[in-house]
Amino acid sequence: MKKTIIVFSGDLDKVMASFIIANGAAAMGDEVTMFFTFWGLNALRKPERIPTKKSFMEKMFGWMMPKGVNKLGISKMNFGGLGAVMMKKIMQQKQVESLQSLMETARMLGVKFIACTMSMDVMGFKPEELIDGLEFAGVASYLGEADQANVNLFI
Amino acid sequence: MKKTIIVFSGDLDKVMASFIIANGAAAMGDEVTMFFTFWGLNALRKPERIPTKKSFMEKMFGWMMPKGVNKLGISKMNFGGLGAVMMKKIMQQKQVESLQSLMETARMLGVKFIACTMSMDVMGFKPEELIDGLEFAGVASYLGEADQANVNLFI
Amino acid sequence: MKKTIIVFSGDLDKVMASFIIANGAAAMGDEVTMFFTFWGLNALRKPERIPTKKSFMEKMFGWMMPKGVNKLGISKMNFGGLGAVMMKKIMQQKQVESLQSLMETARMLGVKFIACTMSMDVMGFKPEELIDGLEFAGVASYLGEADQANVNLFI
């Protein structure tokens, strides 16, 4: 049965949880759709600077927010990024898949990534600033997927 | 099919996400129930001071927490309210519906608003301090609605 | 019908909400599975120090994070624990069940507690440091339960 996950959070720990669930379901043969919105879009940003036309506010937003999976902080005890570094180090020691790798696995398993167009507009993110292979859609599209799914999470 | 959303968070961004999903579903013909609990109740407070009998603790709680949708902060980068102001400004520029307007639309579309009575008791919120047109109920009522729904989110 | 709740958060208010929903459903005759992961594992820690073999990082993690339900902070306005104390005091005055008591009730009602083994590994928590009566499992087990449930929440 299909599963959907709204990835609203841009915290490393929550985005990781999203992918662990998504990949687990996909590995068991489920169709999975991840709908990235608000802070969750940060996980989809390309790390490099892409030249785009932006308003002052959009530039500020883009500059203040983490650029891609490797820059996300954790939701508790982040201590200006130290917590995230520590968690990544521990995960490496324990041979837990990194978020980068979880995302690649999700792709291989056919998990569908949707970027929320309304949030992109508010945040000022252009499609070319986000990683490749995304679908772009809004809430109606999410609801259409959720109606066909038996597990729908908001993370 | 029915949808339910537990609005636990009182953050502007998360309450907005709740209404965008609720209104999207209602516009597509779904019955939608929003169950406001804990911090989420702040979104239902009337902005004006309503004279009520309260204990010292209840007064402090009431005084420390945001009074209604226009006072909510955002969950990240709020910077003492600056983040919320910035986000509202951007949304206005982009002609995204404000939270106030999203709430009115939800009403027009027949979305059911339930205020959690147990949380109201803990927070010391009296019914007359909350906006009109609410139902008052507890967890059993939520579960009854969720059992009839095919999408149940906790935000 | 079965319900599942992923308890990802370790915040007092969110863990309480999880148990209020779980106990409500169990009291109405539903099977309920709570899957504790990441910060949520803190709610399952025994308060006393249990001697275990740990790496330096694991010791630091164990030392920095709250030991059991009575040490959890609230997600907003915690003010270094003051918020949590205040909330507990108010709950006592209002005769709302404490988290400790909610957990005991959940047990009596037959709610199933699963501790996420992958998170335990990352956090460095050993089974003997967690309360008794838990099952230990991973995401596949969660997904198996969720597939049989009609309400699945991520908190």
Tokens of A18: 């999203």
**Predicted pLDDT of residue B115:** 98
Q: In percent, how much of chain B has pLDDT > 70?
A: 100
Q: Which residues contact B74 (CB under 8 A, 6 or more apart)?
A: B11, B12, B13, B83, B84, B87
Would you call B63 an interface residue with chain C, using a CB distance cutoff of 8 Å?
Answer: no
Q: Do C154 and B152 touch (CB under 8 A)?
A: no
Given B17, B96, B153, which is nearest A37 (Cβ)? B17
- pLDDT tens per residue, range C8-22: 999 999 999 999 999
Q: How far apart are CA C34 and CA C44, in angstroms?
A: 12
Per-residue confidence (pLDDT) for residue A67, from 0 to 100: 94
Chains touching C (3+ CB pairs < 8 Å): A, B
Indicate the residue of C37, C118, C154 with minimum beta-carbon distance to A154. Answer: C154
Of residues C24, C153, C17, the one with CA closest to residue C75: C17
Q: Give the minimum alpha-carbon distance from B151 to chain A in angstroms, rounded to a whole number.
A: 6
B91 touches chain A (CB under 8 A): yes
How many degrees, rounded to 5, is the angle at CA A86 between CA A131 and CA C78? 95
A24:C121 CB<8 A: no
* Domain total in chain C: 1
Instruction: Quick: pLDDT tens for A97-116.
Output: 999 999 999 999 999 999 99
The answer to whether the beta carbons of residues A46 and A67 sit under 8 Å apart is: yes
pLDDT of residue B86: 86
> Of A24, A86, A155, which has the smallest distance from its Cβ to C139's Cβ?
A24
The yes-or-no verdict on residue A79 having pLDDT over 90 is: no
- The answer to whether C38 touches C119, Cβ cutoff 8 Å, is yes
SS3 C7: strand
For residue A118, give the nearest of B30, B96, B151 by CB distance. Answer: B96
For residue range A126-139, what is the model confidence (pLDDT) as tens digits? 999 999 999 999 99
Range with the poorest average pLDDT among A16-20, A81-85, B101-105: A81-85
Q: Which domain holds residue A6?
A: 2-154
Residue with tokens 């999700």: A106
> Tell me, what CATH number does C12's domain have?
3.40.1260.10
The string of pLDDT tens digits covering residues C87-145 is 898 889 999 999 999 999 999 999 999 999 999 999 999 999 999 999 999 999 999 99
Q: With an 8 Å Cβ cutoff, are C140 and A24 in contact?
A: yes
pLDDT of residue B87: 87
What's the confidence (pLDDT) of residue C77?
Answer: 84
**Is residue A78 scored above 90 in pLDDT?**
no
- For the stretch C19-66, pLDDT in tens is 999 999 999 999 999 999 999 999 999 999 888 999 888 888 888 899
Q: Do B122 and C153 touch (CB under 8 A)?
A: no
Residue A128 distance to chain C (closest CA, Å): 31
Q: Compute the distance between CA of residue C30 and CA of residue B147 in angstroms, rounded to an integer.
A: 11
**The pLDDT value given to residue B83:** 87
pLDDT tens-digit map of B56-115 = 888 888 888 999 999 999 998 888 888 898 889 888 999 999 999 999 999 999 999 999
Identify any residues that bridge with A89 across adjacent strands, giving them in sequence order. Answer: none
Is residue A68 classed as helix, strand or coil in its secondary structure? Answer: coil
The mean of the pLDDT values for chain A is: 95
Q: Report CA dihedral (C96, C100, C104, C106) to the nearest 10 degrees.
A: 70
